[in-house]
């Protein structure tokens, strides 16, 4: 009986310690990384007991919020410039920054046979609107602008632009038919190694600057073991496999 009581007490103490050590981590996540981050967060919470409080949006907006005191511990940006800038300005922990994914741009329509495999639809026309993310806030929007400029169609297509605040809203414009086609992140339409629905052209990477997506520990995440654990987890082979499965390069 005494031994049984000791086992029960030990189990209780372990559970109590686990609860005491568990922490909430505030993470600002670029909208294009929504789907993979939801998978990663569920696994991380299950393995560690920590809770991830995820906010999804445009990197440019997150920058402004962080500078105004938003309580984020980590930023998973859609570029490498914003984390570097935060580091230089003392709002992020020096030396904590690393590239967690390299994004890919895709021209996509929710309907079949609209976007051809070479993207000739951009030259041919036949659509009223084309969606893209705000290039001032979202790196995927900037990449879309670079692509159209490289193809010589920017001036022709500009009157047809429908701009989303971020890449998630841009996807919604196309998926609901408010725009027949648009530039979105490959991760939003990629499943099981192929485009999940509709028609698409994966934009050649020589038409836009590499979308290097960096993670960085923000000043509010300093000296928090759970934050360190998440950043380490993001560099694990398990997470790399998830990221690659959503169409990113590493």
Residue 6 pLDDT: 43
> Tens digit of pLDDT for each residue in 1-26?
444 444 333 433 333 334 446 799 99
Q: Which residues of the chain does CATH 3.40.190.10 include?
A: 2-102+211-245, 105-202
- Gap between the Cα atoms of 26 and 134, Å rounded: 25
**Is the domain defined by 105-202 classed in CATH 3.40.190.10?**
yes
CB 176 within 8 A of CB 169: no
Q: Do 132 and 250 contact (CB within 8 A), yes or no?
A: no
Collapse the DSSP code of 195 into the 3-class scheme (helix H, G, I; strand E, B; otherwise coil) and give the result: strand
Tell me which CATH code domain 2-102+211-245 carries.
3.40.190.10
For CA atoms 71, 222, 101, 51, the dihedral sign is: negative
pLDDT at residue number 21: 66
70-115 residue pLDDT tens: 999 999 999 999 999 999 999 999 999 999 999 999 999 999 999 9
How many Å apart are CA 215 and CA 152, to the nearest integer? Answer: 33
b/e code 42-74 from CB counts within 10 Å (16+ = b):
eebeeebebebebebbbbbbbbebbeeebebbb
Average per-residue pLDDT for the chain? 92
Poorest-confidence range of 120-129, 155-164, 186-195? 186-195
């Amino acid at each position: 009986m005494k031994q049984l009581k000791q086992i029960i007490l030990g189990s209780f103490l372990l559970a109590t310690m686990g609860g005491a050590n568990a922490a909430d981590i505030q993470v600002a996540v670029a909208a294009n990384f929504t789907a993979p981050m939801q998978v990663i967060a569920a696994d991380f919470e299950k393995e560690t007991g920590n809770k991830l409080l995820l906010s999804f949006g445009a990197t440019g907006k997150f920058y402004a919020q962080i500078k105004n005191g938003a309580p984020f511990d980590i930023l998973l940006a859609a570029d490498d410039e914003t984390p570097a800038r935060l580091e230089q300005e003392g709002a992020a922990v020096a030396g904590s920054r690393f590239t967690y994914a390299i994004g890919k741009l895709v021209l996509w329509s929710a309907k079949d046979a609209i976007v051809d495999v070479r993207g000739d639809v951009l030259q041919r026309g036949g659509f009223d609107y084309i969606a893209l993310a705000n290039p001032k806030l979202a790196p995927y929007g900037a990449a879309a602008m670079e692509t159209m400029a490289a193809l010589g169609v920017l001036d022709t297509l500009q009157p047809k632009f429908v701009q989303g605040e971020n890449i998630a809203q841009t996807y919604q414009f196309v998926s609901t038919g408010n725009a027949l086609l648009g530039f979105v992140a490959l991760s939003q339409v990629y499943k099981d190694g192929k485009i999940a629905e509709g028609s698409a052209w994966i934009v050649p990477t020589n038409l836009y600057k590499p979308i290097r997506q960096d993670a960085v520990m923000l000043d509010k995440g300093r000296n928090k073991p759970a934050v360190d654990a998440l950043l380490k987890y993001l560099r694990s082979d398990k997470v790399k496999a998830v990221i690659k499965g959503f169409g990113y390069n590493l």
